Amino acid sequence: MIDIHCHLLPAVDDGPGTVEQTIEMAKRAVEEGVTAIVVTPHAFHPQFETEDLNVQEAAATLQNVLRQEAIKLDIYPGQEIRVFGDLVQALEDGEALSLAGSRYVLVEFPSDTVPAYAEQLFFRLQAEGYTPVIAHPERNKELATNPKRLMDFVSSGALSQVTTSSLTGEFGQNVKEIAFVFLRNGLSQLVASDAHSTGRRTFYWEEAKQVVTDELGAGRWETLVENAEAVVKDEFVFVDPPILPTKNWRGKWKK
């Protein structure tokens, strides 16, 4: 199992503060069945100063540390990129990184809104051969209240990735429900941990597998696992035709 969104690098952003904490996170990931992680520190985010970080070097250093600790976990470089107008140029200049050197670019919106220029930015990304992957759309207020925005992105070729901790209810029942709505209706095609620690913001892979299997079936879980592998291999990600979610007369999302 491959985790394509994880804050594993030590002393970089709001992830682990020390190498020792990173090692504990890595051990936890392996215990839960993870074989590879794309490290995705925040990039171009107003709260984190990571512009001087060489993610490739940091990932290689971490890989060596894990080998010394006999932890069987493959590490790939990536970033969780806060969207901004010059993202395409930053990717071309090597200032921004895709996931594991693939066509897939993990992008993050502000928590409350979707910038007005997002559609144009995604069009430019795709024109240059990249595929945007929207991180944790279930935790974006605008997408959660207006799923048609996400449907429009996916219909135009973008992907989205819900978080294991959202599926297990760590962010509350409302976030859990919309995460499943996105999976059930083909608006999200990927699951990742977005883990930051071994505490509350940990991996939750085992729990997520159980709840997804119970709710959507074992076949859907296997597809999600295969899609994450496809990202790292830079292969095609399986996409169901997206369906616009609807609510019943009580205001609850229909299954």
> Containing domain of residue 85, as a range?
2-233
Domain membership of residue 85 (yes or no) is: yes
pLDDT for 245 equals: 87
Nearest to 130 by CA among 148, 102, 103: 103
pLDDT range class, residue 36, cuts 50, 70, 90: very high
**Domain membership flag for residue 247:** no
Query: Is residue 25, in this structure, part of any structural domain at all?
Result: yes
Residue 253 in any domain: the answer is: no
| 249 belongs to a structural domain | no
- Of all residues in the chain, the percent with pLDDT exceeding 90 is 86
Domain CATH for 206: 3.20.20.140
Does residue 125 fall inside a structural domain?
Answer: yes
For 108-128, what is each residue's pLDDT tens digit? 999 999 999 999 999 999 999
CB-CB contact of 78 with 87 (8 Å):
no
Are 2 and 35 in contact, with CB atoms under 8 Å apart? Answer: yes
pLDDT at 190 over 80: yes
Q: Is the pLDDT score of 25 beyond 90?
A: yes
For residue 99, is pLDDT > 90?
Answer: yes
Helical H runs in the chain?
A: 19-31, 55-68, 87-92, 118-127, 141-145, 147-155, 164-167, 173-184, 205-216, 218-233
Task: State the pLDDT confidence band at 56, using cuts at 50, 70 and 90.
Answer: very high
Distance in angstroms (rounded) separating the CA atoms of residues 187 and 159: 8
Confidence check: pLDDT of 249 > 80: no
Residue 26, pLDDT above cutoff 90: yes
Residue 13 has a pLDDT of: 84
Report whether 143 contacts 179 (CB < 8 A): no
Asked if the structure places residue 74 within a domain, the reply is yes
Output the pLDDT for position 148: 95
Coil vs helix vs strand at 254: coil
Query: Is there a domain that residue 167 lies in?
Result: yes
Site of tokens 């994880």: 6
Pairwise CA distance, residues 7 & 91, whole Å: 20
Lowest mean per-residue pLDDT among 48-52, 171-175, 220-224: 48-52
Count: domains in the chain: 1
State the Cα–Cα distance between residues 150 and 144, nearest whole angstrom: 9
Give residue-wise pLDDT tens across range 129-139.
999 999 999 99
- Confidence class for position 188, pLDDT limits 50, 70, 90: very high
